Amino acid sequence: MFALEALLTFREQGFLISPGIAHQLTEIAAFILGKNHETRSQIEKKIKKLYQTRSSIVHSGSSNVSKYELIQAISIIKGLIAHLKIDPHLSTFQSMKQLQEWIQFKKYS
C-alpha cells in the first residue's frame, strides 16, 4: 500500500494533500483499472480493505498481513504501473496534474 501511495498521491507546492488519501488512492486506481461502474466499485472496495490493513500496521503496530492481501496489493500495483506505461492515452501524461485532470473528466463525463 505504501507503493500505491507513492504512485498515486498528488503533491502541491511540496506538500501531500492529506485529507482523504485513502479516497484519493481508491478513486484514481478505480478509474485507471476499472472499465465500468461495477469493476470500479470492486476495485474501490479491495483497496479500502487493503488500506485498512496498512493503517493497522502503521498506527497500531499490527503485523497481520495475509498472503492473499499481499498478492492482491502486488497485483493492483502491477496493474497500475502497466496501465500507466502501456495505455496509449495514460502513457502520454507528463505530470500528476494531467492524471488528476483526466480523472476529473472521467468522473463528470
User: What's the gap between Cα 32 and its chain centre?
Assistant: 9
Greatest mean pLDDT range, 8-17, 44-53, 72-81, 99-108: 72-81
Digit-coded pLDDT (tens) for 62-91: 788 889 999 999 999 999 999 999 999 999
Which among 1, 3, 17, 2 has a CA at the least distance from the CA of 97? 17
- Highest mean pLDDT out of 11-15, 60-64, 96-100: 96-100
Euclidean distance between CA atoms 26 and 89, whole angstroms: 20
Find residue 12's DSSP bridge partners.
15
Rounded Cα distance between 81 and 44, Å, is 17
Q: Which residue, among 2, 17, 1, has the nearest Cα to 96 in the 3D structure?
A: 17
Read off the pLDDT of residues 13-27 as tens digits, 9 standing for 90 and up: 443 434 477 788 889
